[in-house]
Amino acid sequence: MPDNLTPLQPQPAILETHSIAICLGGHPIVEDLSFTLRPGELVALLGPNGAGKSTLIRALAGEIDVPPDRVRFAGRAMRDWRRADIARHRAVMPQKVDLQFPMTTREVIALGRPRESAENRQRIIGELMARLDIARFADRLVPTLSGGEQQRVQLARVLAQIWERPAPHLLLLDECSSALDPAHQQLIFRELKQLAAPGVALLVAVHDLNLASQFADRLMLLQSGRVVAEGTPGEVLVPDTLRDVYGLTCRVEALPEGYPMVIPTPESESRANAPGRLRSMPTG
């Protein structure tokens, strides 16, 4: 049988978690969470504040210990990886990076790529700066840049870590677009989508439901540390689900562009149904 007729094999997973649970300070933050991330997938991690998105990302980034063998990266238990090795395949963008020292954009991005020939490093930095629209501040001090500009610089540093390196690649991004204007949000997510095409797996925590809907292949909706909905944007972004999880009243429109759009509606329409709010104040 000729090669081109071989049935498509499912790609081996880059990241697999089996029923992980994470406690911080005695409080369960993530419970019984299992999912698989494959090459080329852009998965959006959604959920209200405190749902456990950041904790999950930090655990997958190796900051928080999880039981051995519950998390596998590229087929091997995560803790069997040496830190320095896994850093070539997995890059992480924390929610907040506070830099107080006088480093320029170029110097910050270079941190993502130590041990590289100077020529190669500068070429990679130049390419990333052009793609993320930060070349204008190449030699300015990062602490003097705006919040959105700093966010793009940090993303460039994160991308530099895996740029042109051998697969597999995993990007864990905790709110990489929260400080960006709409045009730059679109630019960044288009770039992320382009990264996914050749096989990078991305897990991106976002609050903007429509951004997730527009770009993600799959959404994972967390509530109190558990996955309450998972699937395509059309499957997850359902008014009832969003009302239950966020207490958000909305309608969902299918756009001609091919993805659903969430439109919040005035709360009065279904105030009584919103969960989690005070039922009534005791009177008298």
Partner 1 sequence: MHTDSVTRLSPPVGYGGLAIALVVASILSLSSGAYPVAVGQIIDMALRGFSDDTTARFVVLDVRVPRLLLGALTGAVLAVSGALLQGLFRNPLADPGLIGVSSGAALAAVAVIVLGGSGLAGWSQFAGQWALPLAAFAGGTMTTLIAWKIAHQQGQTSVALLLLAGIAINAIAGAGTGLLTYYADDSALRSLTFWSMGSLAHARWADLWVAGPWMVATLLIAPLLARPLDAFLMGEPVAGHLGYSTNWVKRGAVLLAALGVGAAVAVTGLIGFVGLVVPHLLRQLFGAGHRLLLPACALGGSALLVLADCLARVVVAPAELPIGLVMALLGGPFFLFLLMRHRFA
User: Residue 128 interacts with partner 1 (CB under 8 A)?
Assistant: no
Q: How far is the CB of 60 from partner 1 (least distance, A)?
A: 11
User: Beta 260-264 vs 250-254: how paired, if at all?
Assistant: antiparallel
Pick from 15, 91, 109, 219 the residue near partner 1 by CB under 8 A.
91
Pick from 50, 67, 75, 102 the residue near partner 1 by CB under 8 A.
102
Instruction: Check: CB of residue 16 under 8 Å from CB of residue 203.
Output: no
Pick from 25, 26, 98, 272 the residue near partner 1 by CB under 8 A.
98
CA dihedral 116, 121, 123, 124 (to 10 degrees): 100
User: Residue 85 interacts with partner 1 (CB under 8 A)?
Assistant: yes
- Residue 16 or 149: which CB sits closer to partner 1? 149
User: Beta 42-46 vs 218-223: how paired, if at all?
Assistant: parallel
Q: How far is the CB of 40 from partner 1 (least distance, A)?
A: 22
Q: What is the total count of residues that contact partner 1 (CB under 8 A)?
A: 34
* Cα–Cα distances in angstroms (integers) from residue 213 to residues 34, 196, 206, in the given order: 22, 16, 11
Question: Which residues 6+ apart lie within 8 Å of 154 measured at CB?
Answer: 93, 97, 108, 176
Q: Give the range of 133-141, 204-212, 217-225, 249-257 binding partner 1 by CB under 8 A.
A: 133-141
* Axis crossing angle, helix 182-196 with helix 147-162, rounded to the nearest 10: 10
User: Residue 111 interacts with partner 1 (CB under 8 A)?
Assistant: yes
Residues lying near partner 1 in the complex (CB under 8 A): 58, 61-63, 83-88, 90-92, 94, 97-104, 107-108, 111-112, 114, 138-141, 144, 157, 161
